[in-house]
């Protein structure tokens, strides 16, 4: 009889301990949308095609391969997207044009990212007159119409890749200044930064060891979105005839060349336009995903 009592008490005690214990919650696995994988796949394919364009079995972008304005047709890789107004392969020109658009977007975006981030860090951390001067410069640059600035540079300087890079870099610097400034001010008021100041840490250590690792993630996540905007800006300049001079192909220039024949040969416009659309869409989607994934301010 005593054994039964002891066993029942043991069972009751074990049950109460199990009830008091914290419930085991399985970890939630985040599912990545299929559009993220498709966007990354498109960007990787485009970059590889642009880098290894010389190794592909394609005709040079300036060499005619058939009659002008031929519609897309199967049987030949050069003719799979048709020919332009001079009989050159549209596929070859799209791939070689990707070199211009990707280089302009990547280089201008990265340079603007570096300069703007450093100035924004300094402005948000030191404040006072330093913040006033840098903010005033950024506001003045943002107030200037972007298209007017690009047109002025293209009119004064010789249209080239260097001229476009200069103009587009000037456009993105103030955006990164403001974004870095806001994030620096937010992280600069955290406890670990105040603790570092109380312990006698220098400005350089606080900026680059304490604040920068937390600020760099949202800035880098914003970079693909900026690159998408720069690709559209470069295409707009090329469409207006102020971008890359011929015969070097560019997506905007291809649209400009085919706009007069859009009624009879719509592929001259739709092919480069769809490439721009897919590239910009992919960059924006990847940028949004990176911001959601790495921007800690969205999760704090």
Which tokens go with 91? 């596929």
Q: Residue 89 forms beta bridges with which residues?
A: 83
pTM for the model? 0.78
272 neighbors 97 (Cβ within 8 angstroms): yes
**Which pLDDT value is given to residue 278?**
93
**Which pLDDT value is given to residue 279?**
92
Q: How far is CA 72 from CA 80, 123, 138, 264, in A?
A: 5, 54, 47, 13
Rounded to the nearest integer, the mean pLDDT of the chain is 80
Q: Percent of the chain having pLDDT more than 90?
A: 12
pLDDT, tens digit, 9 for 90 and up, residues 158-200: 777 788 888 888 888 998 988 888 888 887 777 777 777 777 7
Q: Is the pLDDT of residue 25 over 70?
A: no
**Which pLDDT value is given to residue 1?**
46
Whole-angstrom distance, CA of residue 230 vs CA of residue 223: 10
**Which pLDDT value is given to residue 11?**
43
Q: Kindly state the helix (H) or strand (E) to which residue 108 belongs, with its residue range.
A: helix 90-126
SS3 83: strand
Buried b (16+ CB within 10 A) or exposed e, 25-39: eeeeeeeeeeebeeb
pLDDT, tens digit, 9 for 90 and up, residues 213-225: 878 888 888 888 8
68 neighbors 87 (Cβ within 8 angstroms): yes
Residue 225, CB-side half-sphere exposure with 13 Å CA sphere: 13
pLDDT, tens digit, 9 for 90 and up, residues 106-165: 899 999 999 998 898 888 888 788 888 998 988 888 888 887 887 788 778 777 778 888
Higher pLDDT, 289 or 1: 289
pLDDT, tens digit, 9 for 90 and up, residues 229-284: 888 888 888 887 777 777 788 888 888 888 888 888 888 889 999 999 999 999 98
Query: Residues 75-104: what's their mean pLDDT?
Result: 88
Whole-angstrom distance, CA of residue 230 vs CA of residue 176: 14
**Which pLDDT value is given to residue 197?**
72
């Amino acid at each position: 009889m005593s054994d039964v009592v002891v066993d029942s008490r043991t069972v009751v005690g074990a049950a109460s301990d199990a009830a008091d214990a914290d419930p085991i919650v399985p970890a939630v696995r985040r599912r990545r949308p299929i559009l993220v994988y498709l966007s990354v796949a498109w960007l990787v394919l485009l970059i590889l095609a642009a880098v290894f364009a010389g190794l592909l079995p394609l005709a040079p972008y300036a060499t005619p391969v058939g009659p002008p304005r031929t519609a897309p047709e199967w049987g030949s890789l050069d003719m799979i997207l048709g020919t332009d107004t001079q009989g050159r392969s549209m596929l070859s020109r799209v791939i070689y044009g990707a070199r211009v658009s990707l280089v302009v977007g990547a280089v201008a975006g990265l340079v603007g990212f570096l300069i703007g981030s450093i100035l924004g860090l300094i402005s948000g951390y030191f404040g006072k007159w330093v913040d006033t001067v840098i903010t005033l410069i950024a506001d003045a640059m943002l107030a200037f119409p972007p298209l007017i600035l690009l047109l002025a540079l293209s009119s004064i300087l010789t249209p080239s890749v260097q001229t476009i890079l200069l103009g587009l870099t000037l456009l993105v610097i103030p955006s990164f200044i403001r974004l870095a400034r806001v994030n620096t001010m937010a992280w600069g008021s955290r406890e670990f930064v105040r603790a570092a100041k109380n312990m006698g840490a220098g400005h350089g250590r606080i900026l680059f060891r304490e604040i920068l690792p937390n600020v760099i993630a949202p800035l880098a996540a914003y970079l693909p979105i900026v690159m998408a905007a720069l690709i559209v800006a470069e295409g707009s300049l090329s469409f207006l005839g102020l971008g890359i001079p011929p015969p070097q192909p560019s997506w905007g220039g291809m649209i400009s060349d085919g706009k007069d024949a859009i009624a009879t040969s719509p592929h001259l416009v739709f092919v480069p336009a769809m490439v721009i659309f897919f590239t910009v869409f992919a960059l924006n989607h990847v940028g949004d995903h990176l911001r959601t994934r790495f921007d800690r301010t969205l999760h704090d």
